[in-house]
Amino acid sequence: MQDNVSKLIKVCNKLYDKQLASGKSGNVSIRLDDYIAITPTLKAINGLNEDDIVLVDMNSNTLTKGNPSSEAGMHLAIYKKRSDVNAIIHTHSPYTTGFAFSNKKIKRLEGFGQIKNPYIASIEYEEPGSEELALKASEAIEKEDVLILKNHGVICVGDDLDEAESLAIFIEESAKTQFVSYMLNSVKDIE
């Protein structure tokens, strides 16, 4: 377990360093048999130590000291729906979240598996940490690997932390590329 928690902390630091999470936003979890290890609430995800990580069983009971992320219910709901998911990353990365606050969708780009749907799936806004958000997110991501939360952020899931992290980085880069494309296409050429 200690190796898994160390890996979780390392991924959190990388997400923060890549500016996919800032301030005290974002949360990361991994499945460990019948419980999850998740980042704490109201703490920045960079600079965490092993004592900061909170263990929670599948019935939402906290098994260690500290308070789990306010999004722990959403993480648990996804794990219950998806036996193939062993890691979840939820960020408020700037470009992806910018799309989440707009009426534009993020196109799926080549580079992370087969394109089954032309756009990244999204759900309408629900209050962060709410049961409604947990329910809607777990249902919408049932056959997806990424989910945009309108006016909120993004969820990436994977078989392991490396896959979820790669996907979080890829989606932000996709959003950045599409943002630049929209800007360039909206400006008339000066001759």
Please give the pLDDT value at position 191: 57
Told to judge if 172 belongs to the known catalytic residues of this protein, a careful annotator would answer no
Rounded distance, CA 49 to CA 187, Å? 47
Q: Which of 71, 163, 165, 172 is catalytic?
A: 71
- Segments of the chain scoring below 70 in pLDDT: 1, 111-113, 188-191
Q: Look at the block and give the residue holding tokens 């890829």.
A: 170
Please give the pLDDT value at position 186: 81
Of the candidates 127, 145, 129, 147, which has an alpha carbon nearest to the alpha carbon of residue 137? 147
Please give the pLDDT value at position 189: 64
Ramachandran sector of residue 42 (left: φ over 0; alpha: ψ -120 to 50; beta: rest)? left
Please give the pLDDT value at position 1: 65
